[in-house]
């Protein structure tokens, strides 16, 4: 939880799919914030481990008209801190303070236009918002407030939402029917900032303050013990290793595990690259046989992820013992890994995939986990990497998942399939680099489908595997779109792959966005 002396915006999560966007909007504005599921926020508030300056009440799928609906913890209401409810957050705030919410009759999804009520045009919440008297906003609700709680006035409305914004400026309580955090409310970030201004925030949180705090926290947690760090060479684990090294110096040993699921040349290139730039102890562990034999005949995506996660921990624990009983393991877990594996800190959103460094951890473990990046998005980690002086060759590397090629090989994983996949992937990345597209693309890779099809090569029938190419643009991996390669690039790449990689006779390009797809195939 936040340190008591750091200005923190608490986001009470009622299960909205876009809660994390609220956090992004505030961090972009220089405000530190943390998301807590509504069930836990109350306890932490009551026992003093959470002392935020103000709180946002998120949207959510519940209905404030239901008896057993998720509630704002009483400790938060009693604390007197400023509150800002969004959609469900507005409705439950009204319901708990004595207003009423009507259900179902006025569903509204999509764009709407709100206007300020004349007596409230100068409200400090409207500084730079509703400047022309009107503002486009995004609505997504089934219920709506039918009468505001005592002390509240309606300060903005739309034809369908007579209580688009309600305010009790004495208590600094606000409620909005729409979603200011989403892209489709173009000026919504301004509204969120105005609330923070009213709550007295000083907007001085930055990546360099994050860095200093992260280093201090690691020092506190690890003390004088030894620590190992799983290093894959990706930006997340590299930044983690640098932070830990800055915190505890030679107590750190990085472990690079070759699990047989790496890309072409990676087992040699990554440790070499790291050793060239840093004076940090790094051990290379050849665990190919261990991982590949345990994955034999396993075709279920979640089972693969769990096996790989557990084996990583086994390897780390064994090495930690040999290294004079290291007591800690540092991992580059990111915020989206946490959200998609267990939902936000145990909050109410659903599990998509067990990310290997979160969902795959065994119950009994001798190592205490250190995860300094757990609250950051990928683009924020890159910013932090630059702040730490990490060379561009690390900072700009495309993400590569911990379970490696195993999740790019739907179905069972064999050495023969991995060989084919490695070669196809290398040709694809080579094409992307030689066309100067690497830095424009967020992530690109080949996957090998467990599908054989008939082809014809040199007048002979072939019956070989299909390779799918995936390249996406994204900001943080939470949403993504396919990269619009030209036809010439695609046909040249397909030609090269078929000609240079034995075992393939068909290449397809994946044009699915996320959502509904995910970036990886498993
Ligand atoms: P998805 O496939 O969920 O991926 O859209 C989003 C981003 O996360 C990466 N990814 C992982 N990274 N361990 C990781 O370290 C994992 O288990 C894992 N699964 C997916 C994926 O490559 C993409 O960048």
pLDDT in tens, 186-208: 999 999 999 999 999 999 999 99
Q: Is the CB of 397 under 6 A from ligand 1?
A: no
Q: What is the per-residue pLDDT for 132? A: 85
Instruction: Determine the distance separating the centroid of ligand 1 and the alpha carbon of 328, expressed in angstroms.
Output: 24
17 compared with 116, residue with greater pLDDT: 116
Given pLDDT bands bounded at 50, 70 and 90, which one contains residue 355? low
At 233-276, the pLDDT tens digits run 899 999 999 999 999 999 999 999 999 999 999 999 999 988 89
Residue 24 has pLDDT above 90, yes or no: no
Q: What are phi and psi of 505, to 5 degrees?
A: -135, 10
Give the mean model confidence (pLDDT) for residues 203-215.
92
299: its two tokens: 């075709």
Q: Is the CB of 356 under 6 A from ligand 1?
A: yes
Q: What is the pTM of this model?
A: 0.78
Q: Is the CB of 517 under 6 A from ligand 1?
A: no
Instruction: Determine the distance separating the centroid of ligand 1 and the alpha carbon of 414, expressed in angstroms.
Output: 21
Range of weakest confidence among 346-355, 412-421, 437-446: 346-355
Instruction: Determine the distance separating the centroid of ligand 1 and the alpha carbon of 520, expressed in angstroms.
Output: 7
332 compared with 342, residue with greater pLDDT: 332
Given pLDDT bands bounded at 50, 70 and 90, which one contains residue 1? very low
Given pLDDT bands bounded at 50, 70 and 90, which one contains residue 363? low
Counting ligand 1 atoms within 8 A of each CB, the residue from 231, 399, 468, 483 with the most, and so the one to mutate, is 399
Q: Is the CB of 514 under 6 A from ligand 1?
A: yes
SS (H, E, C) 235-259: HHHHHHHHHHHHHHHHHEEEEEEEC
Task: Please identify, by atom number, the ligand 1 atom nearest to the C-alpha of residue 234.
Answer: 15
Counting ligand 1 atoms within 8 A of each CB, the residue from 238, 302, 355, 425 with the most, and so the one to mutate, is 355
| Average pLDDT across the chain, whole number | 91
Q: Is the CB of 402 under 6 A from ligand 1?
A: yes
| Spatial separation of the C-alpha atoms in residues 86 and 88, rounded to whole Å | 6
Active site residues: 87, 179, 181
| Spatial separation of the C-alpha atoms in residues 104 and 145, rounded to whole Å | 11
What residue spans of 285-354 are helical by DSSP H?
288-295, 301-322, 335-342
Q: Is the CB of 353 under 6 A from ligand 1?
A: yes
| Spatial separation of the C-alpha atoms in residues 35 and 57, rounded to whole Å | 10
Order across the sheet with 54-57: list the strands.
32-37, 8-13, 54-57, 83-86, 173-176, 165-168, 153-157, 108-116, 134-141
338 compared with 472, residue with greater pLDDT: 472
Residue 342 has pLDDT above 60, yes or no: no
**Residue from 222, 276, 272 nearest 246 by CA:** 222
Residue 449 has pLDDT above 80, yes or no: yes
Residue 348 has pLDDT above 50, yes or no: no
| Spatial separation of the C-alpha atoms in residues 353 and 23, rounded to whole Å | 22
Inter-residue contact 101 to 94 (CB < 8 Å): yes
386: its two tokens: 């630059």
Q: What is the per-residue pLDDT for 203? A: 96
The residues facing 444 across adjacent strands are: 471
At 104-117, the pLDDT tens digits run 667 777 889 999 99
Q: What is the per-residue pLDDT for 345? A: 41
Q: What is the per-residue pLDDT for 340? A: 55
73: its two tokens: 């913890």
Q: Is the CB of 306 under 6 A from ligand 1?
A: no
Task: Please identify, by atom number, the ligand 1 atom nearest to the C-alpha of residue 400.
Answer: 22
Q: Is the CB of 443 under 6 A from ligand 1?
A: yes
Instruction: Determine the distance separating the centroid of ligand 1 and the alpha carbon of 501, expressed in angstroms.
Output: 26
At 386-401, the pLDDT tens digits run 999 999 988 999 999 9
Task: Please identify, by atom number, the ligand 1 atom nearest to the C-alpha of residue 520.
Answer: 2
Q: What is the per-residue pLDDT for 346? A: 47
Counting ligand 1 atoms within 8 A of each CB, the residue from 401, 405, 406 with the most, and so the one to mutate, is 401
The percentage of the chain sitting over the pLDDT mark of 70, rounded to a whole number, equals 94
């Amino acid at each position: 939880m936040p340190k008591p002396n750091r200005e923190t915006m608490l986001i009470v999560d009622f299960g909205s799919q876009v809660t994390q966007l609220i956090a992004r909007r505030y961090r972009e504005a220089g405000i530190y914030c943390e998301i807590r599921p509504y069930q836990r926020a109350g306890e932490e508030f009551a026992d003093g481990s959470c002392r935020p300056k103000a709180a946002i009440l998120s949207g959510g799928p519940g209905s404030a008209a239901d008896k057993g609906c998720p509630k704002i913890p009483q400790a938060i209401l009693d604390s007197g801190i400023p509150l800002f409810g969004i959609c469900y957050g507005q409705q439950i705030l009204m319901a708990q303070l004595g207003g009423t919410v009507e259900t179902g009759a006025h569903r509204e999804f999509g764009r709407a236009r709100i206007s300020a009520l004349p007596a409230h045009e100068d409200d400090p919440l409207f500084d730079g918002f509703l400047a022309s008297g009107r503002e486009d906003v995004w609505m997504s609700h089934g219920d709506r407030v039918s009468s505001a709680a005592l002390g509240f006035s309606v300060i903005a409305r739309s034809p369908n939402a007579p209580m688009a914004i309600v305010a009790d400026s004495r208590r600094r309580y606000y409620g909005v029917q729409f979603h200011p955090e989403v892209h489709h409310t173009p000026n919504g970030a301004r509204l969120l900032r105005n609330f923070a201004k009213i709550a007295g925030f000083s907007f001085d949180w930055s990546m360099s303050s994050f860095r200093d705090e992260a280093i201090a926290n690691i020092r506190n947690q690890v003390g004088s013990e030894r620590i190992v760090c799983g290093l894959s060479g990706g930006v997340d684990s590299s930044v983690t290793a640098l932070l830990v090294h800055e915190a505890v110096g030679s107590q750190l040993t990085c472990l690079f595990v070759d699990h047989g699921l790496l890309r072409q040349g990676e087992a040699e290139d990554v440790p070499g690259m790291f050793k060239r730039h840093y004076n940090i102890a790094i051990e290379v562990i050849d665990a190919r046989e261990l991982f590949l034999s345990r994955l034999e005949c396993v075709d279920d995506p979640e089972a693969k992820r769990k096996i790989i996660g557990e084996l990583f921990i086994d390897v780390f624990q064994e090495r930690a013992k040999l290294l004079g009983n290291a007591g800690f393991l540092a991992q580059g877990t990111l915020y989206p890994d946490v959200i998609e594996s267990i939902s936000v800190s145990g909050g109410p959103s659903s599990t998509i995939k067990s990310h290997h460094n979160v969902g795959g951890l065994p119950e009994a473990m001798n190592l205490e986990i250190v995860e300094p990046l757990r609250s950051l998005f990928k683009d924020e980690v890159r910013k932090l990497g630059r702040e730490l002086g990490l060379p561009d060759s690390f900072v700009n590397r495309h993400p590569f998942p911990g379970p490696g090629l195993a999740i790019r090989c739907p179905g069972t994983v064999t050495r023969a399939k991995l060989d084919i996949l490695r070669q196809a992937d290398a040709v694809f990345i080579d094409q992307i680099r030689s066309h100067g597209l690497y830095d424009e693309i967020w992530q690109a890779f080949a996957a090998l489908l467990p599908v054989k099809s008939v082809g014809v090569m040199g007048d002979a029938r072939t019956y070989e595997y299909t390779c799918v190419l995936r390249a996406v643009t994204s900001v943080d991996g939470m949403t993504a779109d396919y990269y619009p390669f030209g036809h010439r690039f695609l046909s040249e790449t397909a030609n090269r792959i078929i000609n240079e990689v034995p075992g393939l006779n068909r290449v397809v390009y994946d044009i699915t966005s996320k959502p509904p797809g995910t970036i990886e195939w498993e």
